[in-house]
Amino acid sequence: MLEQPESRRAYDVAWVLTTPAHEQLAAGLVESMRKHVPRVDLHVLPIQDPSDYEQIFHAVAPLCRGIPEEAEVTTVLSAGTPQMQTIWVVLVKSGLLRARMVKVIPPAFVPRPHPRAITEVTLDIEGFPEIRALREEVVQLRARERARGEIIGSSPPIQALLRRLARVATAHVPVLVTGETGTGKDLVARAIHQASTRASGPFLAENCGALPEGTLASELFGHERGAFTGATGRRRGLFELAHDGTLFLDEIGEISPRVQVGLLRILERGELRRVGGEAEVKVDVRVVAATHRDLGRMVREGTFREDLYYRLKGAELAVPPLRVRIGDLETLVVHFLDQASSRRPMPTRAAWRALQRYPWPGNVRELRAEVARWTVFCEERVDLDDLSVEIRSAPKADAVRRRLETHTLQSRQLDDRPRSFADVMGDLERQVVGAALARNDQNLARTARELAIDRNTLKRKLRAWGMYP
């Protein structure tokens, strides 16, 4: 193929992309290419299923971002699965990858050198798939790619959260992030900004619970000179500074009625009034608010404005507590060990079991603190005795059922997409299993017998739902 006239064009670097299953084969190709190109790199992408668009995209997109702006890139469309080829076209046509595309007639088909074995693909040719239809798909995939941010975990509840996060991020509505303390609401707020079309604009955050009323108002909306004693000049507030970007209002449940009014004006009319001022100032800011309080209840009790509540709740993201995604425990532990120190004491089996049983009321923040403690007090192993006393002594009973119930609830809350038959059946399945477990005192063997399924099948199901280690 490289003997063709077209291929005499000199390349400095060639990348061969492959999947773990085809690494050997690709290594052979790399060898033969090294005769023609000074540098050939082999990239083994984490793709298990090369017919899955999403897997391919998530593996290839970060790679594309690593290509320098000024590089002249050619992609060869003729290799890989049809889905792989389509992704190249999508990447190029959506501007994520600046490259020319060529297709190659495989050497096996051209016994003698073919005058045009390599041709450029311009997509103007007749019969090429309609790309415009794919644009929205690309925006979504890209958002999903960024939506992860620093959020660790791959349990079903986290996957559902990330899916929804990506969709919500690209919509132009305020977002209310709810969830217990320490579940990662801050991370989610940042990820929303990163995955939105405002990613290149500013991201500012304010903890509304930390400031007295007067200070918060002028912090958010700014003030005019002389607005209050000490206001010696005009000052722009966070809303003006966050123009074209995102403002994250943490602990939104704590704001006073006066600040609520100011906020409502911005959300309804895109205008603000500085403290002590009359003029309306136009701002374009995406508001992401978070709270661990029950705002709906505050509305019913009359301490939070109903109209503001519904405005803020343009979309709601409920961040799942750690106990319903206990399958992520190990990844999180390893992540925090990596962050904390070079010492990596690992929990023993008994310790793991206790960690998995514990309901984690302080969620990921509590886990992080726990892991940090091990790095100080443990050498290589973390024994049962090394765990905090409340973790060590968490009661065994009911743990699985509690997770199961919360999980079913969560997955309903998190997923408002049109639901497939399989999805609905999955929910039903979880409920049936949950009830059977309760009847059998969480005993897996008896539960399996009652449901007339294999015990391993039951375990596999629980594990798939992130509820069994």
Ligand X SMILES: Nc1ncnc2c1ncn2[C@@H]1O[C@H](COP(=O)(O)OP(=O)(O)OP(=O)(O)O)[C@@H](O)[C@H]1O
Interface contacts to ligand X, rule CB under 6 A:
150-153, 179, 181-187, 292, 364-365, 368
330 is an interface residue for Mg ion by CB under 5 A: no
Q: Are 255 and 207 in contact (CB under 8 A)?
A: no
Cite the DSSP H helix spans in 223-328.
Answer: 238-241, 257-269, 295-301, 306-312
Contacted by 190, from Mg ion, ligand X, none: CB < 5 to 8 Å by type: none
| Nearest distance in Å: CB 309, ligand X | 18
Residue nearer to Mg ion on the CB measure, 144 or 368: 368
Number of residues that bind Mg ion (CB under 5 A): 2
Residue nearer to Mg ion on the CB measure, 186 or 415: 186
| Nearest distance in Å: CB 35, ligand X | 46
The stretch among 114-122, 133-141, 182-190, 225-233 that binds Mg ion (CB under 5 A) is 182-190
Contacted by 151, from Mg ion, ligand X, none: CB < 5 to 8 Å by type: ligand X
Cite the DSSP H helix spans in 415-464.
Answer: 421-439, 444-451, 455-464
Q: Which of 6, 186, 316, 415 binds Mg ion (CB under 5 A)?
A: 186
Is residue 14 helix, strand or coil?
strand
Instruction: Give the rounded distance of the alpha carbon of 270 from its chain centre.
Output: 29
| Nearest distance in Å: CB 144, Mg ion | 23
The stretch among 185-193, 198-206, 259-267, 432-440 that binds Mg ion (CB under 5 A) is 185-193
| Nearest distance in Å: CB 250, Mg ion | 5
| Nearest distance in Å: CB 333, ligand X | 11
Q: Are 347 and 355 in contact (CB under 8 A)?
A: yes
Contacted by 183, from ligand X, Mg ion, none: CB < 5 to 8 Å by type: ligand X
| Nearest distance in Å: CB 134, ligand X | 31
| Nearest distance in Å: CB 319, Mg ion | 10
For the chain, what percentages of helix, strand and coil (3-state, to nearest 5) are there?
Answer: 50, 15, 40
C-beta atoms surrounding 130 within 10 Å: 6
Angle, CA of 210, 212 and 217, to the nearest 5°: 100
Q: Are 354 and 396 in contact (CB under 8 A)?
A: no
Contacted by 327, from ligand X, Mg ion, none: CB < 5 to 8 Å by type: none
Q: What is the DSSP letter of 235?
A: B
Contacted by 181, from Mg ion, ligand X, none: CB < 5 to 8 Å by type: ligand X
For residue 347, give both structure tokens: 């929990």
Contacted by 255, from Mg ion, ligand X, none: CB < 5 to 8 Å by type: none
Contacted by 364, from Mg ion, ligand X, none: CB < 5 to 8 Å by type: ligand X
Residue nearer to ligand X on the CB measure, 29 or 205: 205
Contacted by 215, from Mg ion, ligand X, none: CB < 5 to 8 Å by type: none
Contacts of 366 (CB under 8 A, 6+ apart): 182, 322, 360
Contacted by 187, from Mg ion, ligand X, none: CB < 5 to 8 Å by type: ligand X
Of 440, 436, 446, 433, the C-alpha closest to 407 is 433
Is residue 41 helix, strand or coil?
strand
| Nearest distance in Å: CB 181, ligand X | 4
Residue nearer to ligand X on the CB measure, 136 or 150: 150
* 3-state per-residue secondary structure call for 391-424: HHCCCCCCHHHHHHHHHHHHHHHHCCCCCCHHHH
Contacts of 39 (CB under 8 A, 6+ apart): 12, 13, 14
C-beta atoms surrounding 14 within 10 Å: 18
Residue nearer to ligand X on the CB measure, 155 or 218: 155
Residue nearer to ligand X on the CB measure, 236 or 365: 365
| Nearest distance in Å: CB 199, ligand X | 19
Q: Which residues bind Mg ion (CB under 5 A)?
A: 185-186
